[in-house]
Amino acid sequence: MAANSAVSLLDIRLRQFGVGTSNHELSLKKWRSRLLWFDGDQASAPRRFSCCADMLSPMRLSVAGFENSEERRFDQKTTAHGAGIKTSSSAMPFASPKSRFVSKQEKFYPRCTPRLTGPQSRDTPPKRDTGIANEKDWGIDLLNENVNESGSNEDGSTWFRESGQDLGENGYRCRWTRMGGRSNDGSSEWTETWWEKSDWTGYKELGVEKSGKNGEGDSWWETWQEVLHQDEWSNLARIERSAQKQAKSGTENAGWYEKWWEKYDAKGWTEKGAHKYGRLNEQSWWEKWGEHYDGRGSVLKWTDKWAETELGTKWGDKWEEKFFGGIGSRQGETWHVSPNSDRWSRTWGEEHFGNGKVHKYGKSTTGESWDIVVDEETYYEAEPHYGWADVVGDSTQLLSIQPQERLPGVYPSLEFGPSPPPEPDQPQ
């Protein structure tokens, strides 16, 4: 918090709460996939805007190898006794391959001399399945003075950079920097905006938005935000992070979109989730997952993935688990629909009683079924592997944002919205 003469309403003492980070990770299975994906795995470090004619590195297509893909679900290692049915489900393609290509800019950049007056370029598309980056990965460096400048390079490409400050009521202040570049023929361009926001209530925000296109017609857009505020009902400090990413091919009917979010408070309450979509010609796929920890030992996790082709084939897999105090349940379904609408599915479930006994049951549309009680230990993660203490440690730039100085006798106005809706027992 800023060192003001008047104490901010958000007097956040960022103590290292004993949230605890578990060293155990749920066993992950690999997704066997034949779908093709965009690969934006380019060097993420900022580079000077160079004199190379090809300013923007194109997005590449690659085959997603199943050896690099992972499944966000626990490992169902047990086999139903009696029926001989393994309860683990078949995987679906949601891979994130590594690039085997070198961009044109990376190939020719060493031959060029950067113009030191231009802004540093972030001229590559976002990478798939990389979640929410930490603030240090962005390298946000806002200018302290108002700037409005532009220039050109030897190849005819142009660049610009501008910065400023916006003020508003209740001590609102937004400092921002915007920059970008464009090729001589206009086929390639990029823009990136950085900002930090604050007000007298203790609200702080750090953010980035970037977009671009290249000569092949590929285009992309990405935004990232990190927010510190005081929860209006619990009065606890809360940090929220989010990211949205999308890319589209200029030569094929292909593209992808991802939305990620994380929320943490100082008592250990944590919520995480993601929505993903992708398409490559005749194939499309979706993925949604969520995690919720109440900070008192209760945990809910779920995943839902499905895919389809234009020929009418569809398949999917979903599961959910709820636990508290060693007692809980797991359940899921794997399904497949053929082009002629024939449907196959297998459902399964587990009831954990907390006494070393687990009730396992399931059935399929082909006549398989099982219903047994086995001796088995119950394992689940009651706390997130990345929690409040971790996000505080990774948010030093956010926490160091200085709000406007508040004059003595001037107080921030507070507005409280309606009561929050009750949280559902399971995701929609």
Q: What is the mean pLDDT of residues 162-178?
A: 94
Closest CA to 263 of 360, 135, 388: 388
At residue 67, the 3 state secondary structure works out as: helix
pLDDT at residue 421, as a whole number: 52
Instruction: Supply the pLDDT for residue 87.
Output: 36
Q: Are 39 and 61 in contact (CB under 8 A)?
A: yes
At residue 126, the pLDDT reads: 87
CA quadruple 126, 132, 138, 143: dihedral sign:
positive
What tokens appear for 130 in the block?
């990389």
What is the predicted pLDDT for the residue at 275? 98
Span 34-68, pLDDT tens digits? 333 334 433 333 333 333 333 333 333 333 333 33
Whether 241 and 131 have beta carbons less than 8 Å apart is answered as: no
Query: Widest CA span of the chain, in angstroms?
Result: 77
pLDDT at 144: 78
69-82 mean pLDDT: 40
Give 334 or 15, the one with higher predicted confidence: 334
Count the neighbouring beta carbons within 10 Å of the beta carbon of residue 282: 11
pLDDT at 180 over 60: yes
Question: For the residues 395-416, what does the mean pLDDT come to?
Answer: 80
pLDDT at site 405:
87
Q: Percentage of the chain surpassing pLDDT 90?
A: 58
Q: Beta strand 158-167 with 147-152: parallel, antiparallel or unpaired?
A: antiparallel
Q: What is the mean pLDDT of the chain?
A: 76
Token pair in block for residue 86: 């393994």
pLDDT value at 112 more than 90: no
Task: Give the list of residues 6+ apart from residue 415 with CB closer than 8 angstroms, or none.
Answer: none
pLDDT in tens, 255-288: 999 999 999 999 999 999 999 999 999 999 999 9
Lowest mean pLDDT among 36-45, 184-193, 300-309, 345-354: 36-45
Q: What is the pLDDT of residue 422?
A: 53
Residue 233 confidence (pLDDT): 78
Comparing 146 with 102, which gets the higher pLDDT? Answer: 146
Whether the per-residue pLDDT at 8 is higher than 70: the answer is no
Whether the predicted pLDDT of 303 surpasses 90: yes
Residue 271 contacts residue 291 (beta carbons within 8 Å): yes
Note the pTM of the prediction, 2 decimals.
Answer: 0.70
Residues facing 275 on adjacent strands: 259, 288
| pLDDT band at residue 420 under the 50/70/90 scheme | low
